[in-house]
Chains A and B, each alone.
Chain A
Amino acid sequence: MTMAISPTISPEIERHRTFDVDRIRNDFPILDRSVNGHPLVYLDNAATSQKPTTVINALTDYYQEYNSNIHRGVHHLSQKATDAYEDSRSKIGQFINAEKSQEIIFVRGTTEAINLVAQSFGRKNFAMGDEVLITALEHHSNIVPWQMICEEKGAKLVVVPMTDEGDLDLDAYRRLLSQKTKIVAITHVSNALGTINPIKEMIAMAHSKGIPVLVDGAQAVPHMVVDVRDLECDFYAFSGHKMYGPTGIGVLYGRKRLLESMPPYQGGGDMIKSVSFEKTIYNDIPHKFEAGTPNISGGIALGVAVEYLCSLDRASIGEYESSLLDYATAQLSSIHGVAIIGKSKNKASVLSFVLESVHPHDIGTILDMEGIAIRTGHHCAQPIMARLGISATARASFAMYNTFQEVDALVRGMYKVIEVFKQ
């Protein structure tokens, strides 16, 4: 695409001329399409990101060249598929700096990863009167699985409150960590407000009381380098489709010692060593948690997505994305009637906002007519909306392939919205 210099060009744009966004855009074929007669401006990356050609090719390659089941065939294709799948596991392990690739469990996504821990770890370790500590910033998928197991076990869900800006109240967090707390589950980055939580500090605080911590990394992994050993988290969950990989595949990282102590999540093939009607001996990790034929092509393609990300300069991507967010924040704030929702000083790639007397849903429809894709609604985070006293927001969420010009298009789109509703 051409870098047309708009009259609103800011020094920020100048500064990031060095970041070659065009080269990255070339890797994502969908970005060339148009929607409703306008070039696509895809700002719904927190819902799912687009996929680079290498990932798309990895999926078709598998089906065209070596489709077969894994971990069970003696034949050539099965061996090739098994190698590719297991190779991907190692790459993902290195990507988040896990000590061992066995600590990488393939799941459907963040949701399944959290359900796995809630059902397996929770079933074994929770009892009447115990507590699960989550935060006010959680996605429904880091609330409901805990509610379900708490209800079953007579345990209690306790919530760390947040400020109006969207920051967690760390003093309250410290107070709420108690002997009853059996696990802490926190999001790394909020999908609704963009807040980056100080998870390293929060993990250390929980560990000082011997409490394990699960981190929901769905919105963090695509935007920052995650090192599970540096964080010292016990579980880390993320989804392939939000980090340029396919849908239907994600990862649960767990410390080996913990995973080994946990009962299986689902029963079936692949998760066993031997089965008789009297007794079944479970397989070792990670297979113990991977019952049945998995998403093989997805697992392989996620490894390719990881390779792709690692081939880029991730530090400069992070810088670029945060200046894009700063620019978008400044531009949208300058529109009369727009209020930014979520004002933490530490934010990543998510910009939630509302426009006076226009419902987010109407904003979404009008922007769509301009080819601009955003998300509107409660973003699977109804408790956050309730806490802030709103029912919905409009949310633009950015990826490394978005441009300053696309932010300008969003701003122009917002003026269209205002015009439609002006009378």
Chain B
Amino acid sequence: MNELQTLYQDVILDHNKSPRNFRVMTDATNVVDGYNPLCGDHYKIYLKVEDDVVKEVAFQGSGCAISKASASLMSVIMKGKTKAEAEELFNKFHLLVTGELNPEANSEELGRLVAFAGVSEFPARVKCAILAWHTVHSALQGRTESISTE
């Protein structure tokens, strides 16, 4: 059960069960779809960006616990970040779930995101964890086409 606990941390189970900001945003400035064709995960991510600051993030869609919890936690953490900060966080998260960032050494910036450190031990699940982040990343780059992890 130990390996499973590293993956399915309480934070992840909680955000999967009760995803935050799980709604349609009618006044979004950016809306982008993210797909993981391999598992059929699909999220629509809404951003409200004003003066280079991410004022709000919301999302809708369906997928596994890892992808949903990741989207949920991201929506909470991104709020209030400048575009540059958001990009920085995206890069950090990417390194975290691919096992290239020491979670302890970076725990302050990562905050609750450290819950996703265990994903790096499950290579098949990295795409799940990163899906929503990739989607936001490209929305912030001003892209509007759907994002696919394949």
Contact = CB atoms under 8 A, between A and B. Distances in A.
Interface stretch (B46-54, B57-65, B87-95, B134-142): B57-65
Nearest to B124: A365
Contact of B39 (A357, A369, A392): A392
A385 interface: yes
Max count, chain B CB within 10 A of own CB: residue among A359, A385, A420: A359
A362 B66 contact: yes
A362 B62 CA distance: 13
B40 A365 contact: no
B42 interface: yes
B42 A369 contact: no
Contacts of B65: 358-359, 362, 421
B105 interface: no
A74 B17 CA distance: 69
Nearest to A376: B39
Interface string A346-384: 000000000001111110011001000000111000100
Contacts of B27: none
A298 to B, nearest CB: 27
A361 B62 contact: no
Max count, chain A CB within 10 A of own CB: residue among B14, B17, B39, B124: B39
Nearest to A37: B3
Nearest to A363: B64
A-B CB proximity, top 8 nearest: A391-B40, A359-B64, A361-B64, A392-B40, A362-B65, A361-B39, A362-B64, A378-B40
Contacts of B124: 365
Contacts of A416: 1, 4
A423 interface: yes
B128 interface: yes
Nearest to B36: A361
Interface string B91-113: 00000000000000000000000
Contact of B17 (A360, A369, A376, A423): A423
Contacts of A358: 65
B3 A369 contact: yes
Interface of A: 36, 357-362, 365-366, 369, 376-378, 382, 385, 391-392, 416, 420-421, 423
A100 to B, nearest CB: 42
A360 B39 CA distance: 9
Contacts of A423: 10, 13-14, 17
A36 B121 CA distance: 13
Given A366-B8, A369-B4, 6 more contacts: A358-B65, A362-B65, A369-B3, A391-B63, A392-B39, A392-B40
B17 A361 contact: no
Contacts of B128: 361
A385 B40 contact: yes
A385 B42 CA distance: 14
Contacts of A359: 39, 62-65, 68
Contacts of B1: 416
B interface majority secondary structure: helix
B13 A391 contact: no
A192 to B, nearest CB: 12
B64 A377 contact: no
Nearest to B62: A391
Interface string B26-42: 00000000000011111
29 contacts: A358-B65, A359-B63, A359-B65, A361-B39, A361-B66, A361-B128, A362-B8, A362-B65, A362-B66, A365-B7, A365-B124, A365-B125, A366-B4, A366-B8, A369-B3, A369-B4, A377-B38, A377-B39, A377-B40, A378-B40, A382-B40, A391-B39, A391-B41, A392-B40, A416-B1, A416-B4, A420-B4, A420-B8, A423-B14
B128 to A, nearest CB: 7
A409 to B, nearest CB: 16
A385 to B, nearest CB: 7
A121 B32 CA distance: 42
A248 to B, nearest CB: 22
A391 B17 contact: no
Nearest to A370: B4
Contacts of A376: 39
Nearest to B17: A423
B69 to A, nearest CB: 10
Contacts of B3: 36, 369
Contacts of B7: 365
A370 to B, nearest CB: 9
Contacts of B62: 359, 391
A382 B38 CA distance: 10
A57 B38 CA distance: 34
Nearest to A361: B64
Contacts of B39: 359-361, 376-377, 391-392
Contacts of A357: 17
Max count, chain A CB within 10 A of own CB: residue among B14, B64, B125: B64
Contacts of B68: 359
Nearest to A366: B4
B18 to A, nearest CB: 11
A365 B129 CA distance: 14
A365 B122 contact: yes
B115 to A, nearest CB: 15
